């Protein structure tokens, strides 16, 4: 394993933050050893740091997995280790003539977080292709397999973000795939995303900053009387999904800056680190956006990004 004190924490927002200790492990035995040796200390397991906003240095242990292999269990089942980049896996599967995950192409981040976050794009979510999730309990160090149902997946959500937050480390994820040509779809999605979203490594961001809100039908109906062009999508439970990007754009935020933070001109759901933004710049801009959406539409929008 690799250990480094006072180490910079990788994060796609480009925040300049340090961890008291950064540890990368390369096997389950090493992971167990780290958890045993650092029991009781504050810790955070990260992937690529592409959905995190670090607001200050982390006075604890940041854990990262260097395990990045995938293997076929059978013709339609792939197990991928937590530290493998999701897009690297999709690229490999596509090259090998397998389909199922191609709509998730180019989503940053690693396999472990794909399950924690239930990542999604273009009508597909990780939950649609995940069969089970293998974990280690950070207290008992025992392995536990979560079925898809037990993960209680929801919109950008899973049990690992709530009841079991910080209690289990996802060590590998088992996905279902099927033989099929996916390269055309993958290429189209890559082109669309590159045209719309800031490129990781070039512009700091954590992707969509806010989640799309769900409002009761009655509230949506009243809003539609005032804003007939408002995009809206009925979902389960008598709720209606309203795209947060539309709400933010209607409030005039597209391209606006506050300190070093900016609302991405091509996609107003994304806040970027345009010019040496501090965490406060990002938070102030996010708060100002939320407030104006609440004032104009009476809708609360919540961050998708995890503040640390
Ligand atoms: C440009 C850009 C575009 C994006 N587009 C999309 C998109 O289209 N759809 C989408 O859903 N998301 C999108 N995202 C968000 C991001 O890619 C996902 O949330 C991704 O799953 C984060 O992966 P990560 O490895 O970087 O996790 P991190 O950001 O490092 O961690 C995310 C959370 O998962 C936890 N975690 C990480 N690994 C483990 C593990 N092994 N075990 C337990 N907990 C763990 C962390 O503690 C944290 O709570 C985008 C981000 C960027 C920067």
Active site residues: 156, 208, 304
* DSSP letter (8 states) at residue 157: B
Looking at residue 26, its pLDDT comes to 98
Looking at residue 99, its pLDDT comes to 96
Looking at residue 236, its pLDDT comes to 87
303 lines ligand 1 (CB under 6 A): no
Q: DSSP per residue over 205-236, as a string?
A: EEEE-BPPPEEEHHHHHHHHHH-TT---EEEG
Span from the CA of 219 to the centroid of ligand 1 (angstroms)? 31
204 lines ligand 1 (CB under 6 A): no
Domains and CATH numbers, the chain: 2-65 (3.30.43.10), 70-185 (3.30.465.10), 198-307 (3.90.78.10)
265 to 97, 144, 193, 201, 257: CA distances (angstroms): 36, 44, 14, 18, 10
pTM of the model: 0.95
The SS3 assignment for 116 reads helix
Looking at residue 153, its pLDDT comes to 97
Among protein residues, the one whose CA lies closest to atom 2 of ligand 1: 207
Q: What is the pLDDT along the chain (308 residues), one digit of tens a residue?
A: 999 999 999 999 999 999 999 999 999 999 999 999 999 999 999 999 999 999 999 999 999 999 999 999 999 999 999 999 999 999 999 999 999 999 999 999 999 999 999 999 999 999 999 999 999 999 999 999 999 999 999 999 999 999 999 999 999 999 999 999 999 999 999 999 999 999 999 999 999 999 999 999 999 999 999 999 999 999 988 999 999 999 999 999 999 999 999 999 999 999 999 999 999 999 999 999 999 999 999 999 999 999 99
């Amino acid at each position: 394993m690799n250990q480094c004190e006072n180490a910079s924490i990788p994060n796609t927002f480009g925040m300049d933050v340090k961890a008291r200790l950064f540890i990368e492990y390369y096997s389950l035995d090493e992971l167990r050893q780290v958890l045993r040796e650092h029991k009781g200390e504050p810790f955070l397991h990260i992937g690529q740091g592409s959905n995190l906003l670090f607001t200050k240095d982390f006075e604890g242990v940041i854990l990262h997995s260097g395990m990045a292999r995938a293997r076929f269990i059978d013709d339609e089942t792939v197990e991928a280790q937590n530290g493998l980049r999701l897009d690297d896996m999709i690229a490999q599967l596509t090259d090998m003539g397998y389909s199922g995950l191609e709509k998730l192409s180019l989503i940053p981040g690693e396999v472990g977080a794909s399950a924690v976050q239930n990542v999604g794009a273009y009508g597909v979510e990780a939950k649609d292709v995940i069969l089970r999730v293998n974990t280690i309990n950070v207290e008992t160090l025992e392995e536990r397999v979560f079925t898809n149902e037990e993960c209680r997946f929801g919109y950008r959500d899973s049990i690992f973000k709530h009841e079991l937050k910080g209690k289990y480390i996802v060590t590998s994820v088992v996905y279902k795939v099927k033989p099929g040509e996916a390269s055309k779809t993958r290429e189209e999605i890559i082109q669309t995303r590159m045209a719309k979203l800031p490129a990781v490594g070039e512009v700091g961001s954590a992707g969509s900053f806010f989640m799309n809100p769900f409002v009761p039908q009655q509230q949506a109906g009243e809003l539609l009387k005032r804003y007939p062009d408002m995009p809206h999508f009925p979902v389960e439970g008598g709720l209606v999904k309203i795209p947060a990007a539309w709400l933010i754009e209607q409030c005039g935020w597209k391209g606006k800056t506050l300190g070093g933070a900016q609302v991405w001109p091509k996609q107003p759901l994304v806040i970027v680190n345009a010019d040496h933004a501090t965490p406060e710049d990002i938070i102030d801009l996010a708060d100002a956006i939320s407030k104006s959406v609440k004032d104009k539409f009476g809708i609360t929008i919540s961050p998708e990004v995890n503040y640390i």
